[in-house]
Every structure is written in C-alpha cells, then in structure tokens.
Amino acid sequence: MLSSSSRLLRVLSLLQTRSHWAGPELAERLAVHPRTLRRDIDRLRQLGYPIHASSGVAGGYAFRAGQSLPPLLLDDEEALAVAIALQIAAAGTVSGVEESSLRALVKLEQVMPTRLRRRTGALRSAIVPVQRMGPTIDASVLATLATACRDQLQVGFSYRDLRGQASVRQVQPHGLVHTGHHWYLVAWDPARDDWRTFRIDRVQGTPRSGAHFAPRPPPAGDLRAYVTGAMAGVHQQGEQARVVLHQPREVMAKTIPPSAATLEAIDDAHCLMLCGTGQLDSLVYWLMALDVEFDVLEPPLLKERLRRASERVGRSLARGGG
C-alpha cells in the first residue's frame, strides 16, 4: 500500500496520461478502494488541481484546465530540464517570452533545494547565448498553431512564400518542427490535396482556428524526416548554387544541416553542396567560415561576389602590412 502522499503523486501522474479514467479502473490501477480514490481526488482539488468527476455508467475522472496554476510537482531531473529550457528560451528564437522566461526561472530557483540550485547555477554560467542569426517568431503565433495541432483544429492564415508571393491558406495542422534555424508547421492542405510545410516566421498576422478535422497518419512516418526532405526539395528548385566541398559528405553533414543545403557525395574526399541563391551575401559568408577548400560551379554571380570579397580581404591585409 502506497503512503497517502505517494498515492496522490501517482493519481496525478495517471490522470495526465489520458483524457478520462473510469473510476473503478483507476482505483484498480492504484490498488485502493473506490472510496479511498474519491478522498484522494477531493484532496487534490483542495490543493488546486482541476479534476472533473462524472457519474453514471461512463463516469470517472478527468484532468481539466483550470483558471489558475496549481502547484507543480517535479522531480530533480524534471526541474533541471525546465530550468535549462527556460534559460534557452530567454535567449532563443521565440520573441515575447524572454522576460517571462526569466521570471519563471527565478521563481523556480527560489523553491529549489540547495543541491539543485547549485546545479542550476552551474548550468546558467556555462550556457552562453550567441547573437541570433535566424528570424524570430511571435510566441502567440507559435502557441496558437501548437494548440491547433493538439486539438486537431483547422487553422487559417496569410502566408508569404520564399519568392515573396502572398496567399491565404486553410490547412489541417499536424505538428511543429524546429530545425535549429527555423520553425516549421507541417499540415495537410485540402486545396492542394497534399502535405505542405510552412515556415512560421512567414505567417502574417494571427492564425485563426476553425472546425475540428479527422487526423491523418503523419507524412513519411516522421515529421522531422518529412521537413528535411521538403527542404531538400526547396534547394533543388529555381536557380541553384552548386559548390564542390573538399571534404567527404559525412564530414560536412555534421556542419551543414539539411535545412540549409543538400549534400551529395562525389567521392571519398569531395561532396557537392546544393542550395538556393536567394541570399548570396550570406552564402559567401558561410563558405568563407566553413574553413574548407571549395570550388564554385555556379552561378557566375556567386563567383563574382567571392572575387570581390577576396579583393577586399587582400586590400585589408595590405593596409595592415600583412
């Protein structure tokens, strides 16, 4: 028989694993009498947890969203995970949550035991944020889309694609994927009768939630794999930059993510990088920063930009006596 406090934790844990529990089934899982379970539910309600009870043949218990936050019960590893997430969020790519993330982190640290505060302090000093390179997105937009994915609600929004063309989309959202540089929404687009990916920083205004829809199996069986494949397709559309890198594909794949470029093996010592030419100045920067020998095959404009950059570096070294 579990102690009363341990049993309460177990009740909370089980209630959050599914949307509804039949009373007898939950009591059996806990190995307690139904009357004991009812007393535990009453105790949790007194502590602020929003638990709904229903009677009848289909009666039981369900964890419902409340009007205020109840106490959070976290073990050591969960508390550290939350602290790390809040620290990263305070300097991440989602705008509008930086200050609230810091406030939440301070509150969390105040209730931590000393041993955890030391570990959190060590993490805080070790995690050094760098300047953001990618676009930021609005936290409310991300939250709206995440809710629509969870609740299987159609969502409408204005969208501007890679070429700057605007459209209004009405889709069935399935999930969100973060590639390390960008956030993507994966959704079924009824107008195209196919799956589509949308870069969330290109969503204009506030998305509008609509009616429920029947869920579909995820594309490719895995959302991250699907987004990676979709990004490879983007790299192969329109004008491309084709650059031979003097390193094996498996080596460069550790540095160049699929969302940035497609890599194709040439031989044991070289690979071909394919990417879009929408931002040539950024491409020049990254090619120079890779610290890898390379040969530009196309486009000619990229060769010209690199030649100008090389001349600029040469003039700088000459002025400095290098």
Question: By mean pLDDT, which of 13-17, 43-47, 137-141, 227-231 is the weakest?
Answer: 227-231
Give the dihedral sign, CA 271/276/280/283: negative
Note the pLDDT tens digit of each residue in 223-253. 877 777 666 554 445 578 899 999 999 999 8
What percentage of the chain carries pLDDT values higher than 70? 82
Integer Cα distance of 204 and 54 in angstroms: 42
Mean pLDDT over residues 69-94, rounded?
A: 73
Mean pLDDT over residues 293-316, rounded?
A: 90
Task: Dump strand ranges (E) for the chain.
Answer: 21-22, 51-54, 60-63, 94-95, 137-138, 153-160, 166-178, 183-189, 194-199, 203-212, 240-245, 262-265, 271-276, 294-298
The CA distances from residue 138 to 146, 159, 165, 168, 231, in Å, are 13, 15, 21, 19, 22
Which strands make up the sheet holding 240-245, listed edge to edge?
Answer: 262-265, 271-276, 240-245, 294-298
Q: What is the dihedral of CA 190, 192, 195, 196, to 10 degrees?
A: -110
pLDDT at 235: 46
pLDDT at 71: 63
Mean pLDDT over residues 281-294, rounded?
A: 87
Residue 39: CB atoms within 10 A of its CB come to: 13
Residues 240-318, CATH architecture: 2-Layer Sandwich (3.30)
DSSP strand pairing (262-265 vs 240-245): unpaired
pLDDT level of residue 133 (50, 70, 90 thresholds):
low
Quote the mean pLDDT of the chain: 81
Note the pLDDT tens digit of each residue in 141-159. 888 888 888 889 999 999 9
- Confirm if 203 and 157 have CB atoms less than 8 A apart: yes
DSSP strand pairing (166-178 vs 194-199): unpaired
Can you give the pTM of this predicted structure?
0.53
Residue 74: CB atoms within 10 A of its CB come to: 15
Integer Cα distance of 113 and 95 in angstroms: 31
Q: Quick one: tokens of 3?
A: 């102690």
Q: What is the DSSP annotation of 298-318?
A: E-HHHHHHHHHHHHHHHHHHH
Q: What is the DSSP annotation of 80-125?
A: HHHHHHHHHHTTSSEET-HHHHHHHHHHHHHTS-HHHHHHHHHHHH
In CATH terms, the fold of domain 4-63 is: Arc Repressor Mutant, subunit A (1.10.10)
Mean pLDDT over residues 312-318, rounded?
A: 86
Residue in the block written with tokens 């934790």:
9
